[in-house]
Amino acid sequence: MANQLVIRRIVDNDRDQVREFLRENWGSSLLVNSKAEHEGSQLPGFILYADGFIVGLVTYHINGEDCELVSLNSSLTGRGVGSMLLRSLEDVASEHGCKRIWAMTTNDNTQALRFYQKRGYEMEAIYFDSLAQLRERKPSIPALGQDGIALRSEVEMVKRLGE
């Protein structure tokens, strides 16, 4: 019962599907963190399909030598979907001459912290109590996150390229 996984770049015809996928996974297609705000459905990125359905998505924003990993989602766990999407993003960042990739996650998301660290990312900064301010811009951010942990702070994860 192996699904065929197909990865490709987001194109303009995908924008409605991407918007819906982001709403299902993030509560909204507006993606915010302490350093940036994006309409996620308009960002470049990659979609991973299994049997014609989106099972993974990564979006990013390149600014000079920095590549912000804006969102990364996989609805299939343990199948390498997140790793495939991350490798595609890292390849694009390298092609654009980026020196680093950065991503924000929240204090409750121990799965993401493990995922990024296993792939060469390091914790660079913690933005203490930043979620209260972010809720002013995006009220759908919940008070409680994974495992009932209070959502309070962001952790900036960074991978330096070409080192």
Express each pLDDT in 73-126 by its tens digit: 988 777 788 999 999 999 999 999 999 999 999 999 999 999 999 999 999 999
C-alpha dist (Å) from residue 4 to 7, 28, 41, 62, 127 = 10, 28, 25, 30, 39
Please state, in angstroms and rounded to a whole number, the distance separating the CA atoms of residues 54 and 74: 9
DSSP per-residue string spanning 85-99 = HHHHHHHHHHHTT-S
Q: What range does the domain containing 137 cover?
A: 5-160
Beta strand pairing status for 53-63 and 45-50? Answer: antiparallel
Express each pLDDT in 5-35 by its tens digit: 889 999 999 999 999 999 999 889 999 999 9
Which residue, 133, 123, 121, is CA-closest to 34?
Answer: 133
pLDDT at 3: 66
Please state, in angstroms and rounded to a whole number, the distance separating the CA atoms of residues 34 and 104: 9
pLDDT at 148: 92
- pLDDT range class, residue 1, cuts 50, 70, 90: very low
Question: Averaged over 25-49, what is the pLDDT?
Answer: 94
Count structural domains, the chain: 1
User: Is residue 162 pLDDT above 50, yes or no?
Assistant: yes
- pLDDT range class, residue 2, cuts 50, 70, 90: low
Check which CATH number belongs to the domain holding 72 and give it.
Answer: 3.40.630.30
Phi (first) and psi of residue 37, to 5 degrees: -140, 135
Q: Hey, what are 58's tokens?
A: 């990564």
pLDDT at 5: 84
